[in-house]
Amino acid sequence: MTPQIAPSLLAANFYDLKPQLEAVKAAGASVLHIDVMDGMFVPNISVGIPVIESLAKTSGMTLDVHLMINNPDRYIKAFAEAGGDWLTVHYEAVPVNELRGLLAEIRDMGLKAGLSVKPDTDTDVIEDYAELCDLILIMTVPPGFGGQHYDPDGNARIARVRAILDKKNPGCILSVDGGIDRHTIAGAHRAGADLFVAGSAVFGEPDAGEAVKELLSIL
Ligand code: DX5
Ligand code: ZN
């Protein structure tokens, strides 16, 4: 995939979303990353179904929904109906014997199916599921909060997953999430990522559009 920036909604000002989304779209970002947290899988609570419904109707962006929730199977249908386009579940949040079925269920609903791993999960687990996924999301911070530092092992982890995908599913999107900014994005790109989630480095900047342009210029 052509490298893309996916601005992460978590870092936006929720009082005044529209101009921020228009700015990132005008700068070339067509994918919006939305973090859904349940206060159980991660120690934080963020946004959910009604917010996705509104954004699906009006944002004109592809909604990349990152489910940081336990037992996401309970909510796949609801997020699909709300208008999510890509649904990513966490490897650590789903019983191993249910994961294949869950990824297939997401695809059967006509969505892209994503699988994410936390920084301390062995990336080799991806191997068994790569063909069932349209997106792999490598977490490069412990999930739950924006504004954290990029995992020093992040690039090596991305490179290992790139090798797995080259073998098993070359068309699969390889996304990186956490601590992506003007200093870390080039290394993640060289390691093989092609979708770069960025929260603070986009919406934490005075001009979100300029921030997207700057990140894109590094790729
Ligand atoms: C963290 C979320 C990220 C977060 C990234 O759990 O998954 O998407 O918004 O924020 P930054 O880019 O600030 O590290
Ligand atoms: Zn995320």
Reported as a single tens digit per residue, the pLDDT across 110-121 is: 999 999 999 999
**Are 173 and 135 in contact, with CB atoms under 8 Å apart?**
yes
Mean pLDDT, residues 144-152 taken together: 98
Tokens encoding 166: 């080259």
Q: Is 177 a catalytic residue?
A: yes
> What percentage of the chain exceeds 70 in pLDDT?
100
Strand blocks (E) in the chain = 4-7, 31-37, 62-68, 86-90, 112-117, 135-139, 173-177, 195-198
Q: Is the pLDDT of residue 54 over 90?
A: yes
Nearest to 195, CA basis, from 66, 53, 55: 66
> Using a 6 Å cutoff on CB, does residue 177 contact ligand 1?
yes
> Using a 6 Å cutoff on CB, does residue 198 contact ligand 1?
yes
**CA separation for the pair 43, 80 (Å, rounded):** 24
Mean pLDDT, residues 165-191 taken together: 98
Work out the end-to-end distance of the chain between its first and last CA atoms, rounded to an integer number of angstroms.
13
> What percentage of the chain exceeds 90 in pLDDT?
100
> Using a 6 Å cutoff on CB, does residue 144 contact ligand 1?
yes
> Using a 6 Å cutoff on CB, does residue 160 contact ligand 1?
no
Q: What amino acid is encoded at 159 in this protein?
A: A
Q: Predicted confidence band at 13 (pLDDT cuts at 50, 70, 90)?
A: very high
Nearest to 155, CA basis, from 176, 127, 172, 183: 176
Q: Which ligand is nearest to the CA of 42?
A: 1
Q: Is the pLDDT of residue 14 over 90?
A: yes
The pLDDT score that the predictor gives to residue 159 is 98
Mean pLDDT, residues 45-70 taken together: 98
Mean pLDDT, residues 177-189 taken together: 98
Average pLDDT, the chain: 98
Q: Which ligand is nearest to the CA of 41?
A: 1
Mean pLDDT, residues 75-83 taken together: 98
Q: What SS3 class is residue 32? A: strand
pTM summary value: 0.98
The pLDDT score that the predictor gives to residue 1 is 85
The pLDDT score that the predictor gives to residue 158 is 98
**CA separation for the pair 84, 12 (Å, rounded):** 18
The pLDDT score that the predictor gives to residue 218 is 98
Q: Is the pLDDT of residue 106 over 90?
A: yes
**CA separation for the pair 74, 80 (Å, rounded):** 12
**CA separation for the pair 201, 204 (Å, rounded):** 6
Tokens encoding 217: 């210029």
- The catalytic position among 35, 38, 134, 181 is 35
